[in-house]
Amino acid sequence: MYERPVVDAVLRLIRQGPPLLQVLVGARQVGKTTAAGQVVERLGIPHVFAAADSPLPPGPEWIETQWARARALAKDPASPAVLVLDEIQKVRGWSELVKRLWDEDRRRNRTLHVLLLGSSALLLQHGLTESLAGRFFLHRCSHWSWGECREAFGWGLDRWVYFGGYPGTAPLVDRPDAWRQYVTDALIETVLARDVLQLQPVAKPALLRHLFVLSTAFPAQILSYNKMLGQLQDAGNTTTLAHYLKLLETAFLVSGLELFARGLQPKRGSSPKLVLWNQALINALASRPFETARLDPEWWGRLIENAVGAHLLNHLVAPEWKIMYWRRGDAEVDYVVERGRTVWGLEVKSGRPRPASGFAAFRLAYPKAHTLIIGSEGVPLEEFLASDPRPLLEGG
Reply yes or no on whether the pLDDT at 229 is more than 60: yes
From start to end of 196-341, where are the E strands? 221-222, 254-257, 273-276, 322-328, 331-339
In whole angstroms, what is the distance from residue 113 CA to residue 129 CA?
20
Q: What is the pLDDT of residues 275-333, one digit of tens each?
A: 999 999 999 999 899 999 999 999 999 999 999 999 999 999 888 999 999 999 989 99
| Residue 212 to residues 169, 244, 246, 327, 344, Cα–Cα distance (Å) | 21, 9, 11, 24, 29
Question: With b meaning 16 or more CB within 10 Å and e meaning fewer, what string describes 312-327?
Answer: bbbbbeeeebbbbbbb
Q: How far apart are CA 264 and CA 286, in angstroms?
A: 37
Per-residue pLDDT for 30 more than 90? yes
User: pLDDT digit string (tens) for 139-166?
Assistant: 999 999 999 999 999 999 999 999 999 9
User: Helix (H, G, I), strand (E, B), or coil: what is residue 383?
Assistant: helix
Q: Rounded mean pLDDT of the chain?
A: 91
Which CATH class for the 5-141 domain? alpha beta
pLDDT-above-70 percentage for the chain: 94
Residue 37 scores a pLDDT above 80 = yes
280-296: per-residue pLDDT in tens? 999 999 989 999 999 99
With CA atoms as reference, report the closest residue to 141 among 171, 117, 115: 117
- Rounded CA-CA distance 193/191 in Å is 6
Q: What is the mean pLDDT of residues 339-354?
A: 87
The full set of domain ranges for the chain reads 5-141, 146-394
Q: What's the pTM?
A: 0.92
